[in-house]
Amino acid sequence: MMLMSRRSASRAGPPLRAHATLLCLLLLLVGSPWGQRRVVSFFVDHYDSETVRWLVLGGFVPRWALSPDQEIDHLGSSMLVVQDISVVLLLVGLVLVLRGAGGWIRLLVAAVLVSEAVALLRWWLLETFVDGIDDLLSVGLRYELLHAPLAFGLVTGVLLGLLTIGRKGARVKGSVLQGKGVAAMTTPQAHMPVGSEPGDVTRYLCAAAYVDERFADRVVEDVLADDAGAVAPSPDVDLVAVARHCLAAQDLRHARDLRLTGAFAAVALLAPLWLVFPALLLAIATSASRPRPSLATRGQRLPGARILIGTGLTAAAAILLAFPVAVALSALPVPGFVSWLLGTYLAGVPAVLVSVGATAFAYATVARHDLDTDRLLRTTMTRETFSRQPTPSVPRRVWIARRLAVVKEARDGNVTVYSGFLPFVGYARADSTWSLAVPLLPADDTPADRSRPTERSRPAEPEAFTVVELVDHVRKQLRAVAEHGGAEGTADVHQAVADLRSLTVEDRVFVDGTTIGDDPRFTATTGLTPAARLSAEEVRDIMLRPTGTVRHHLAVHVPLWGGDVVPSVFLHFSTEGRTLHLHCGNHVLGPVAAAYHVVDRLRDPLTPERRRGLLAESLPRTAPAFFGAPSRALRQARFEARRNRRTADELTALEQDPVFDYGARLSVRELALSPSYHNYFQVVDAGRITAAVERHTLAAIREFLDARGYDITDFRSQQQTILNQGLIQQGGTSIIGNQSIGPGSSATQNITRNAGPAGTAAVGAQK
């Protein structure tokens, strides 16, 4: 998205300048002596229509002249200078509004505010520097200064909305690359680094605690503070380290929010309505801080020093405008309460000072927080430094220590207690699934494949076996593959896949969280959370009795790209009569969000260019942080009380509801998923690894059955179907690409082609 946004921004640059130029020329034309004569003529012709007359008043606002002789109402030279200065300020303000753009309502309000602010400034300048104007200001001119700008602002706001129609469409169009039947959405990770070393994904999620406030809050609120809920697994992620960093990040933000709340309270106590001024000042400064569109599309260009200088001058001009506005407001005859709201006491000076001071303090606080966060990431979260850093300390509270112990047990456990319909929480939705049913029939006297005799002679009669023995054999074979990197064996089964060295195999039990209330196997010795680990004997018992809501799967995980991509294969074995059933589900955890990879772009020490970039990026974040600080600070202050009440309510529900849900509802790893992959070969590698695991699994099963004297002819046929087409047709109709299989079939198929885990999940669901 960074790449395409810069391209679209560079394309949007000329239209923006053209719109601003067109707006200025139009207003200068209307305000010229020639245009003003037409406005007066139109005003006189439609004087009987009150609505038209009121709207035409706005046409007098941008009037200007080069000499008093050309002024239509014969104003003196002093008034002419004031009027021309006001027109210049009006044009500058409207261009800034156009540059900021936004929706129709925002443009309309901004145009009215700019028009009224310039009118108040003009009023103050006339009263201060033009002699003999007091009588006019008291009646006619005051009406003109206050009512005409409102009409002008409304009309100009509509005009600005019309000018920005094309810009929004251009941005949307530029965000989609139209391919041959494929819509590839652009994403922020075009220039982002990718994971490569073991442990990278844990490092990215720890960094996410500091760069994504919502991520940290969700981890603390929905994982740590959920005393009764199980913790979802996160492959190749150190959940304890991530949780600790989320708590530390919350503490840092709470300290920032307390300072911002103090500044907010100061303005609210002295002049509540002057809280509008920080919003306007920050909006103007943010518009001025936007760098010119860059022609660089192959890298990121940091803003230059001129950006900060221009932003400072723009903010200073806005602050200077605040004083005449305050003086003008103080001249209004308003009662005491309204005077307090408007801050008009003492000529409005206290209101201006506290509002300006609060804005400056808020920006300094946010900028300092951003710089501290950048320094923390730069010095502790890079690939070279992360492994040497101790995990942050956490508050010494009993419930936090107990919950972190639960998180650690879940990280190392073999039980997934899930909530809802899908059991594979923490592993993303299934990319594809397939099943096979193998009849357990005696083998013929002749080997099934004459060219490849069995490694040992078959027994005279088929040897009975249990699911536990089959699972042990498959587990042993897959671990042998991991030890040798997949490079050992014959060419048709074993492939030289170095990534298979990171393959891990585990037994995992899945159970519905609403069904374990009376099951002692899942009752924890302490606390409300169900047990996350079963003994080997209990797991074997579940293998032998695959019924009810408790099921065993042999889980195969292969972390790739530093754990940023994790293909997982879940194998469920069962026997029924003389039939062996195998269900296989392929899941792929895609990379975490691109913003979390920012730590791989940081280098120590901090460069001046990067510092300028951080200062510029802090401006648009200041207003949301400033105005949201009181509610965030209050919510954080009430966190303990809220958690205690939630725990009490959960205990009551546990006593009263026989199907109380202990299941995990949030996966930390899935919470951080990116909407798309960062690199094309991540998708290729995930598919290659899944196919390799499937081949090794099927080869191990075939070897197991063949060695025990079972006929593998039907198994080999189904195996070839799975490996070649990815499915087995056992009645009904299936669609593969544009081919249809089955009686009365047709090849009608609509598949949304989205990149990333969401897209693969959608395709897998249709399979």
User: Which one has a higher pLDDT value, 76 or 313?
Assistant: 313
Lowest-confidence pick of 101-110, 405-414, 744-753: 744-753
Lowest-confidence pick of 41-50, 89-98, 448-457, 539-548: 448-457
The SS3 assignment for 508 reads strand
- Bridge partners of residue 505, in order along the sequence: 556
pLDDT in tens, 612-639: 889 888 999 999 999 999 999 999 999 9
Strands 579-589 and 566-576: antiparallel
Burial environment of residue 139 by CB neighbours within 10 A (0 to 12, 13 to 18, 19 or more): exposed
Model confidence at 753, pLDDT cuts 50, 70, 90, reads: very low
The SS3 assignment for 583 reads strand
Asked if residues 502 and 559 have their Cβ atoms less than 8 Å apart, the reply is yes
Could you give the count of Cα atoms lying within 13 Å of 694 in the half-sphere of its Cβ?
27
Handedness of CA 703, 708, 711, 714 (dihedral sign): negative
Model confidence at 300, pLDDT cuts 50, 70, 90, reads: confident
Lowest-confidence pick of 5-9, 376-380, 446-450: 5-9
The percent helix, strand, coil of the chain (3-state, each to 5) is 60, 10, 30
Handedness of CA 141, 146, 151, 154 (dihedral sign): positive
**pLDDT surpassing 60 at residue 756:** no
Query: Above pLDDT 70, what percent of the chain?
Result: 79
Interhelix angle 77-100/104-129, rounded to 10 degrees, is 160
Find tokens 């009150």 and name the residue: 50
pLDDT in tens, 141-166: 555 556 788 888 888 878 777 766 55
pLDDT of residue 592: 93
Model confidence at 101, pLDDT cuts 50, 70, 90, reads: low
Q: Which helix (H) or strand (E) holds 219?
A: helix 213-219
Instruction: Dump the DSSP string for 696-737.
Output: HHHHHHHHHHHHTTB--HHHHHHHHHHHHHS----SS-EEET
Amino acid at 604: D
What token pair was written down for 138? 């008291």
Model confidence at 266, pLDDT cuts 50, 70, 90, reads: very high
pLDDT of residue 487: 52
Model confidence at 749, pLDDT cuts 50, 70, 90, reads: very low
**pLDDT surpassing 50 at residue 694:** yes
Query: Above pLDDT 90, what percent of the chain?
Result: 40
Strands 504-512 and 176-178: unpaired
Asked if residues 360 and 318 have their Cβ atoms less than 8 Å apart, the reply is no
Asked if residues 283 and 100 have their Cβ atoms less than 8 Å apart, the reply is yes
Asked if residues 677 and 597 have their Cβ atoms less than 8 Å apart, the reply is no
What token pair was written down for 250? 């919350």
pLDDT of residue 230: 93
**pLDDT surpassing 70 at residue 102:** no
pLDDT in tens, 198-252: 999 999 999 999 999 999 999 999 999 999 999 999 999 999 999 999 999 999 9
Model confidence at 558, pLDDT cuts 50, 70, 90, reads: very high
**pLDDT surpassing 60 at residue 733:** no
**Cα–Cα nearest to 693, from 460, 425, 499:** 499
What is residue 597's DSSP assignment? G
What is residue 70's DSSP assignment? G
pLDDT in tens, 9-31: 444 444 566 777 778 888 888 88
**Cα–Cα nearest to 426, from 641, 168, 236:** 236
Model confidence at 119, pLDDT cuts 50, 70, 90, reads: confident
**Over residues 268-282, mean pLDDT:** 88
Distance CA 83, CA 31 (A): 11
Lowest-confidence pick of 391-400, 506-515, 572-581, 642-651: 391-400
**pLDDT surpassing 60 at residue 675:** yes
pLDDT of residue 496: 38
Interhelix angle 608-637/276-289, rounded to 10 degrees, is 150
**Over residues 592-615, mean pLDDT:** 88
What token pair was written down for 712? 């593998």
Lowest-confidence pick of 290-299, 311-320, 481-490: 481-490
pLDDT of residue 489: 45
pLDDT of residue 665: 93
Could you give the count of Cα atoms lying within 13 Å of 252 in the half-sphere of its Cβ?
24
Distance CA 101, CA 163 (A): 10
Q: Which helix (H) or strand (E) holds 122?
A: helix 104-129
Cis peptide before 605 (omega within 30 of 0): yes
What token pair was written down for 125? 């300048």
**Over residues 425-435, mean pLDDT:** 92
The highest-confidence range among 2-16, 63-77, 415-429, by mean pLDDT, is: 415-429
pLDDT in tens, 165-197: 555 443 333 333 333 333 333 334 446 788 889
Asked if residues 751 and 762 have their Cβ atoms less than 8 Å apart, the reply is yes
- Bridge partners of residue 569, in order along the sequence: 556, 586
User: Which one has a higher pLDDT value, 567 or 305?
Assistant: 567
Strands 504-512 and 415-418: parallel
pLDDT of residue 258: 96
Amino acid at 207: A
This prediction has a pTM of: 0.73
Average pLDDT of the chain, as a whole number: 79
**pLDDT surpassing 70 at residue 586:** yes
Find tokens 């000042």 and name the residue: 281
**Over residues 88-106, mean pLDDT:** 74
Instruction: Dump the DSSP string for 289-303.
Output: HSPPPP---SSPPPP
**pLDDT surpassing 80 at residue 106:** no
